[in-house]
């Protein structure tokens, strides 16, 4: 059943003036139509096509009932298009009293849900009969299990609608039961639903055709000249066939000898041939002797039948003379002329032609008398009546298929609509979208948004515009040798701990576990937290690299100088001179400065940073100083956070699904809240007891005290630079006030006060 659509570029029927009043909801920034009434489903053909979330859905790679998808895929191309889905919806609505029953998502279809007339009423009556057949006449709903029970019951009966009957189908008629068994033996059978072998219309017709053909063939054999010896003709023909090739060979050699006498010696295979077989242990019937001519060939010479013949063929020739030659020609002779041989072949030719045209070989074993008895009886009509009776149980097969289809639609169609017309299941935390493949555990997190992919490279190319951090994994099950590929959408946390080659564990929707390994990564921002700390992590890494480079260069220089000193000392000892041990050179000038810079670069960098920070906030009030520090943090991390924010706001799942074969009609935004729902870090469950302490802690006492002292010194230094400690310090330890502050003080105190000139 198809749905007619307008030409491309034109609106769907009802798009310009929609009669139905729709209700829309918004989730993740996507406005979608809500299907909450039967009228909504019945009026789907009126919904403008641009408001559908999905236009095409693939059959493979989705978690959905395969039978329902196969029924909806009318052209069996592996893709369900919008017109095919509309056709399925209309088909179901035409057979239901109220389309609202599709919202039940129930595997049991209530009998009251069927339409009161038309095909719906016919399916309702069929459902009642099926329930009665399985012993549930009072049931008010039917399911696929009920259909299966009825089919199982039918399979155990001789008449089950499969068009095959077994001998047990004629248990009350022994002669028909015997005939069915004979047909089975002659023409073979087909397994019945109950598992026993039976016959169908094809075997029945073939048997009777074979029987008629065989009887007609037997009657042809009774015509004059066909069997010249009557019943003994078959034995005579067999005796002739046993020696026919060798006799023809003998007379051909004789004709060649008459044509050229010089051919006699080679044609009779002279002494040379006997010389090759003489050393062998010869037997009368050995292959070497049987390959020799029947007798010595000569021009016009008859073939001797008893004396002077090849020993390997003597018995066969004697039997030929007794069974065929003498009865057919009526002569008793010890030799066979070529003329007599031709007469024998002419007399046996009609019989051989008749045998070559033999028909009904399959039924020959029953014998002519039994076949004539069968053909004369009414067995064919009685077996045909049994087949018709069996087929009468299959007359409702099309209706049963429609009933099964309606039950499937009642159970699954609403869920498909909530993954097609809208994406309600995707945004509903209690539902699972049909394209999600399972859950991946890796890096102390689990990832719920995983999809199956066929080709990682092509999928990554098409999904690049999604602005989502994507991880591609190969998943395998060693026990079953299965292998698949999945695309994992990473929507929260940090991405730095994910790398190619990292292993994890994947669970599919059936709960089966798979080994997972990352094979490809498509990078994009993952979270604002990562974006905030990313500049500081890069600065820290840069400082660490510079320190390592400086220390490494000084270490290499020291090792090089030490090696040169050792080489010089070794050379002096070898010449016999007394080595003079020189004290290590003192580091002066540039060398000393370089070493000090290398050793103290970390402190210098930290001091420079602190000094710059203090200079920036010097003279400010404490709260302004705090705001200044915060401003510095945002100045460093702000650009990264803003850029990441724009990219994260633009995350779109549609390219990922399009690369899997979906035709997504709208943006499927991954909001921040939705991202945290699909990617979650490990947290102890609520109510868990956490034991503090560590059984094998690292000793950090010295480091902790050093950090505390360093922190206190930094705080005191800042307070000293800001003149906040002057009231507690001696005058000689006070920090000199800034010139601006001093000028202000002089202006306010013209006499100079304590700060006047002495």
List pLDDT tens digits, range 357-380: 989 899 999 999 999 999 999 999
Contact 679, 490 (CB under 8 A): yes
Kindly state the average pLDDT of the residues 642-658.
85
CA 25 to chain centre: 35
Least confident of 588-597, 693-702, 749-758: 749-758
Beta-carbon-side half-sphere exposure of residue 596 (alpha carbons within 13 Å): 7
84: β partners: none
Dump pLDDT digits (tens) for 694-703: 777 776 677 7
Contact 390, 265 (CB under 8 A): no
At 342, the pLDDT band (50, 70, 90 cuts) reads: very high
C-alpha distance from residue 132 to each of 26, 129, 141, 149, 647 (Å)? 48, 5, 12, 11, 63
Least Cα distance to 236 among 344, 357, 139, 112 occurs for 344
Dump pLDDT digits (tens) for 47-77: 999 999 999 999 988 999 999 999 999 999 9
Per-residue confidence (pLDDT) for residue 740, from 0 to 100: 45
- Tokens at 106, concatenated: 């129930």
Q: With 0-12 CB in 10 A as exposed, 13-18 as middle and 19+ as buried, what is 386?
A: buried
DSSP string of 256-297, one letter each residue? HHHH-GGGHHHHT--HHHHHHHTTS---TT-HHHHTS-SS--
Length of the chain: 758
CA distance 665 to 52: 7
The DSSP letter of residue 669 is: B
User: Which uninterrupted H or E stretch holds 520?
Assistant: strand 513-522
How many CB atoms neighbour CB 415 within 10 A?
A: 18
pLDDT greater than 70 at residue 710: yes
Least Cα distance to 143 among 106, 114, 118 occurs for 106
Contact 718, 614 (CB under 8 A): yes
Count of helix runs (H) and strand runs (E) in the chain: 27, 19
- Tokens at 372, concatenated: 């004539």
CA distance 41 to 89: 7
CA distance 23 to 421: 13
At 168, the pLDDT band (50, 70, 90 cuts) reads: confident
CA 635 to chain centre: 50
CA distance 383 to 389: 10
Contact 96, 115 (CB under 8 A): yes
* % of the chain at pLDDT higher than 90: 43
Per-residue confidence (pLDDT) for residue 3, from 0 to 100: 42
CA distance 572 to 564: 13
Per-residue confidence (pLDDT) for residue 623, from 0 to 100: 63
Beta-carbon-side half-sphere exposure of residue 302 (alpha carbons within 13 Å): 13
The angle, 0 to 180 degrees and rounded to 10, between the axes of the packed helices 601-617 and 622-649 is: 110
Strands 445-447, 79-81: parallel, antiparallel or unpaired by DSSP?
unpaired
Least Cα distance to 89 among 34, 21, 124, 38 occurs for 38
CA distance 237 to 396: 58
Query: Domain segments of the chain: what residues?
Result: 1-160+396-433, 230-359, 435-524+651-684
Kindly state the average pLDDT of the residues 307-327.
89
Dump pLDDT digits (tens) for 463-503: 989 999 999 999 999 888 999 999 999 998 888 889 999 99
Least Cα distance to 616 among 606, 631, 638 occurs for 631
pLDDT greater than 50 at residue 515: yes
Per-residue confidence (pLDDT) for residue 378, from 0 to 100: 93
Least Cα distance to 664 among 654, 673, 678 occurs for 654
CA distance 256 to 250: 10
- Tokens at 291, concatenated: 């390959």
Per-residue confidence (pLDDT) for residue 751, from 0 to 100: 43
Look at residue 24 and give its three-state secondary structure.
strand
Phi, psi of 441 (to 5 degrees): -105, 125
Least Cα distance to 487 among 456, 444, 529 occurs for 456
Per-residue confidence (pLDDT) for residue 543, from 0 to 100: 72
Per-residue confidence (pLDDT) for residue 579, from 0 to 100: 55
Per-residue confidence (pLDDT) for residue 9, from 0 to 100: 40
- Tokens at 644, concatenated: 């990441």
Contact 528, 463 (CB under 8 A): no
Phi, psi of 503 (to 5 degrees): -100, 155
Beta-carbon-side half-sphere exposure of residue 242 (alpha carbons within 13 Å): 18
Least confident of 35-44, 273-282, 544-553, 738-747: 738-747
pLDDT greater than 70 at residue 395: no
C-alpha distance from residue 225 to each of 157, 220, 221, 230, 325 (Å)? 54, 11, 9, 9, 16
Look at residue 203 and give its three-state secondary structure.
helix
- Tokens at 615, concatenated: 């200079």
Kindly state the average pLDDT of the residues 677-687.
83
Per-residue confidence (pLDDT) for residue 585, from 0 to 100: 52
Per-residue confidence (pLDDT) for residue 232, from 0 to 100: 92
Least Cα distance to 738 among 730, 727, 746 occurs for 746
Per-residue confidence (pLDDT) for residue 477, from 0 to 100: 93
Q: For every residue of 52-71, which 3-state class applies, written as one string?
A: CCEEEEECCCCCCCHHHHHH
CA distance 252 to 246: 10
CA distance 742 to 749: 11
In 478-633 the beta strands, taken as DSSP E runs, fall at 482-490, 503-508, 513-522
At 162, the pLDDT band (50, 70, 90 cuts) reads: confident
Kindly state the average pLDDT of the residues 493-514.
92
Per-residue confidence (pLDDT) for residue 319, from 0 to 100: 92
Q: With 0-12 CB in 10 A as exposed, 13-18 as middle and 19+ as buried, what is 567?
A: exposed
Dump pLDDT digits (tens) for 439-461: 999 999 999 999 999 999 999 99
How many CB atoms neighbour CB 460 within 10 A?
A: 17
CA distance 439 to 431: 14
CA distance 616 to 630: 12
Better-scored residue on pLDDT, 108 or 648:
108
Q: Where are the alpha helices (DSSP H) in 138-200?
A: 144-155, 174-187
Which residues fall within 8 angstroms of residue 285, CB to CB, at 6 or more apart? 312
Task: Work out the mean pLDDT of the chain and round it to a whole number.
Answer: 82
Kindly state the average pLDDT of the residues 243-254.
91
At 576, the pLDDT band (50, 70, 90 cuts) reads: low
Kindly state the average pLDDT of the residues 83-112.
95
Least confident of 17-21, 174-178, 257-261, 296-300: 17-21
CA distance 715 to 709: 10
Least Cα distance to 160 among 205, 127, 191, 119 occurs for 191
Q: Which residue has tokens 């360093």? A: 710
At 613, the pLDDT band (50, 70, 90 cuts) reads: low
At 567, the pLDDT band (50, 70, 90 cuts) reads: confident
Q: For every residue of 588-610, which 3-state class applies, written as one string?
A: CHHHHHHHHHHHCHHHHHHHHHH
- Tokens at 576, concatenated: 């016999």
CA distance 82 to 49: 9
CA distance 51 to 730: 79
pLDDT greater than 80 at residue 354: yes
């Amino acid at each position: 059943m198809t749905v007619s659509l307008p030409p491309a570029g034109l609106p769907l029927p009802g798009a310009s003036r929609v009669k139905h009043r729709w209700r829309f909801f918004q989730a993740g920034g996507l406005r979608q139509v809500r299907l909450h009434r039967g009228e909504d489903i019945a009026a789907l053909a009126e919904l403008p096509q641009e408001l559908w979330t999905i236009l095409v859905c693939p059959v493979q790679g989705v978690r959905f009932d395969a039978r329902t998808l196969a029924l909806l895929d009318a052209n069996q191309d592996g893709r369900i298009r919008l017109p095919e889905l509309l056709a399925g919806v209309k088909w179901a609505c035409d057979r239901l009293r109220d389309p609202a029953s599709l919202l039940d998502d129930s595997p049991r279809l209530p009998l009251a849900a069927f339409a009161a007339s038309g095909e719906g009423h016919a399916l309702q009556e069929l459902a009642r009969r099926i329930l009665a057949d399985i012993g549930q006449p009072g049931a008010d709903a039917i399911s696929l299990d009920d259909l299966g029970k009825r089919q199982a019951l039918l399979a155990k009966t001789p008449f089950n609608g499969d068009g095959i009957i077994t001998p047990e189908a004629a248990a009350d008629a022994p002669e028909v039961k015997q005939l069915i068994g004979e047909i089975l033996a002659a023409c073979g059978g087909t397994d019945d639903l109950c598992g026993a072998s039976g016959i169908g219309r094809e075997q029945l017709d073939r048997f009777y055709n074979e029987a008629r053909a065989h009887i007609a063939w037997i009657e042809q054999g009774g015509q004059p000249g066909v069997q010249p010896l009557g019943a003994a003709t078959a034995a005579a023909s067999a005796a002739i066939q046993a020696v026919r090739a060798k006799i023809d060979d003998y007379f051909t050699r004789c004709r060649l000898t008459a044509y050229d006498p010089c051919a006699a010696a080679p044609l009779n295979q002279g002494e040379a041939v006997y010389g090759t077989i003489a050393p062998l242990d010869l037997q009368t019937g050995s292959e070497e002797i049987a390959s020799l001519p029947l007798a010595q060939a000569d021009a016009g010479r008859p073939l001797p039948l008893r004396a002077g013949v090849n020993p390997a063929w003597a018995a066969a020739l004697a039997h030929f003379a007794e069974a065929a030659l003498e009865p057919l020609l009526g002569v008793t002779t010890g030799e066979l002329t070529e003329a007599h041989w031709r007469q024998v072949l002419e007399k046996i030719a009609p019989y051989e032609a008749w045998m070559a045209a033999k028909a009904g070989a399959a039924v020959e074993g029953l014998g002519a008398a039994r076949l004539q008895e069968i053909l004369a009886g009414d067995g064919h009509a009685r077996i045909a009546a049994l087949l018709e009776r069996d087929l009468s149980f299959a007359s409702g097969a099309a209706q049963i298929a429609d009933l099964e289809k309606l039950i499937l639609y009642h159970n699954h169609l609403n869920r498909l609509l909530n993954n097609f017309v809208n994406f309600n299941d995707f945004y509903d935390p209690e539902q699972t979208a049909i394209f999600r493949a399972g859950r991946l555990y890796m890096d102390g997190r689990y990832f719920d948004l995983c999809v199956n992919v066929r080709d990682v490279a092509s999928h990554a190319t098409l999904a690049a515009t999604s602005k989502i951090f994507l991880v591609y994994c190969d998943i395998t099950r060693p026990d079953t040798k299965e292998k698949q590929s999945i695309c994992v959408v990473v929507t929260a946390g940090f991405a730095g701990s994910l790398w190619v080659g990292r292993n994890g564990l994947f669970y599919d929707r059936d709960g089966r576990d798979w080994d997972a390994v990352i094979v490809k990564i498509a990078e994009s921002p993952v979270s604002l937290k990562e974006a905030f700390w990313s500049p500081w992590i890069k600065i820290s890494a840069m400082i660490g690299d510079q320190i390592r480079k400086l220390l490494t260069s000084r270490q290499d220089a020291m090792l090089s100088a030490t090696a040169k000193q050792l080489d010089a000392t070794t050379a002096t000892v070898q010449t016999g001179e007394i080595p003079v041990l020189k004290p290590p050179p003192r580091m002066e000038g540039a060398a000393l400065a370089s070493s000090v810079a290398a050793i103290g670069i970390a402190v210098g960098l930290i001091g420079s940073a602190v000094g710059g920070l203090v200079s920036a906030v010097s003279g400010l009030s404490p709260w302004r100083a705090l705001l200044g520090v915060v401003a510095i943090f945002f100045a460093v991390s702000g650009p990264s956070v803003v850029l990441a924010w724009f990219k994260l706001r633009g995350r779109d799942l549609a390219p990922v699904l399009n690369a899997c074969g979906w035709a997504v009609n709208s943006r499927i935004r991954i909001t921040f809240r939705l991202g945290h729902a699909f990617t979650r870090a490990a947290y102890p469950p609520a109510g868990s007891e956490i034991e503090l302490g560590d059984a094998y802690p690292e000793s950090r006492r010295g480091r902790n005290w050093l950090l505390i002292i360093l922190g206190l010194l930094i705080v005191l230094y800042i307070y000293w630079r800001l003149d906040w400690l002057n009231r507690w310090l001696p005058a000689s330890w006070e920090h000199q006030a800034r010139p601006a502050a001093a000028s202000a003080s002089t202006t306010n105190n013209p006499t100079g006060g304590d700060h006047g000139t002495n």
